[in-house]
Amino acid sequence: MRIAVLGGGHGCYAAAADLSEAGHEVRLWRRDAAALAPVVEAGTIGLIDANGSRDVGIAMATADIGAALAGAELIVVPSPAIAQEDIARAMAPHLRSGQVVFLPPGTFGSFVMARIVRTAGSKAEVAWAETGTLPYLARKAGPREVRVTIRAVRLPTGVYPARRADEALGVIARAYPSVHGCGDALSGALMNAGPIIHPPLMVMNAAPLQHFERWDIHAEGTQPAVRAVTDRLDQERIAVREALGYAAPHYPLADHYTSDRWMYGDAHKRLVDSGDWREHIDLHTHRYVTEDTELGLAFLASVGRWCGVDAQIANGLLAVTGGFLGRDLRTGPRTFEALGLAGLDRAALQQRLHDGE
């Protein structure tokens, strides 16, 4: 299958290498041509995982998004949610009917990107899908190398518009067999683990993150008090899902720490043992704040307001983060209010999610 991978981050390089090794024709697009040059020149990405190190050939690496999208059945966008709007505007002129766009994860980006593409004038009938996490726990090891610590074994995925779910899931499963449907795009967005695991780690480790040059939030930073807050926050997420009528499995984050039932299976110890997450984190610029808190957690809190769930922990974390950022995060661009959805009743929202714009 011809697949376009859009972006230049850890997950993008992991996806390009992994899908290429699986036999797909992968075209990797990155806006920064200079940063992409090592991959272009070598024609390969160095993949490091439990099976060792090897160079994996990439069919195309390009800074021309039109060339990357041409003829692609599946478009994978593992880039942070803060990049989705720009990517959607760049994609719009080149999309063709029948293509499937997969956002792992999405932060309700399926709805946001579809709207931007329509506003830009595209009439292509495209299916948008999003899941709860990246398919890989990965970190770049060089300008054209990526280290994959863990691959996801379960990827609950919602589709927008939901009327195209069977078609979209069939295409995505050819690349990611661990995908399974979980309903519409809102259900998929409420599977997103980033806004649950990362905001408590940022807020409750703020002092050591600013004091130490490198800090492992998944080792030293994950202490019992942090876990307790994370569990409470995840209970709010599940309460929102239940209030909206979404069925289990909800993939409670506690399973990530205590069992093999979570999206990555039994992964937490391998994550900590890898040492790949001992890093410098800037509380004002890191995606755990700009993506998972400002967008993802604000989105969750706003859906809670809409459906009547009292998300105390979510709102408390937003207030503290807003305190050190110097702005009110309750009015962010991914809230139901900002997206124009807060005024819809339940039936109108469900129809919008099913039918699309």
Angstrom distance (rounded) from CA 179 to CA 123: 27
Angstrom distance (rounded) from CA 219 to CA 212: 14
Residue 188 Cα to chain centre, angstroms: 10
Residue 293 DSSP one-character state? I
Neighbours of 122 (CB within 10 A): 19
pLDDT in tens, the chain (357 residues): 999 999 999 999 999 999 999 999 999 999 999 999 999 999 999 999 999 999 999 999 999 999 999 999 999 999 999 999 999 999 999 999 999 999 999 999 999 999 999 999 999 999 999 999 999 999 999 999 999 999 999 999 999 999 999 999 999 999 999 999 999 999 999 999 999 999 999 999 999 999 999 999 988 999 999 999 999 999 999 999 999 999 999 999 999 888 889 999 877 677 777 777 789 999 999 999 999 999 999 999 999 999 999 999 999 999 999 999 999 999 999 999 999 999 999 999 999 999 998
**Angstrom distances, CA of residue 318 to CA of 22, 211, 233, 254, 351:** 41, 22, 12, 21, 30
| pTM of the shown model | 0.96
Quickly tell me which residue has 């949610």 as its tokens.
Answer: 81
> Which element (helix H / strand E) includes 84?
helix 84-91
Instruction: For residue 136, give the nearest of 119, 115, 153 by alpha carbon.
Output: 153
What φ, ψ does residue 287 adopt, rounded to 5°?
-65, -20
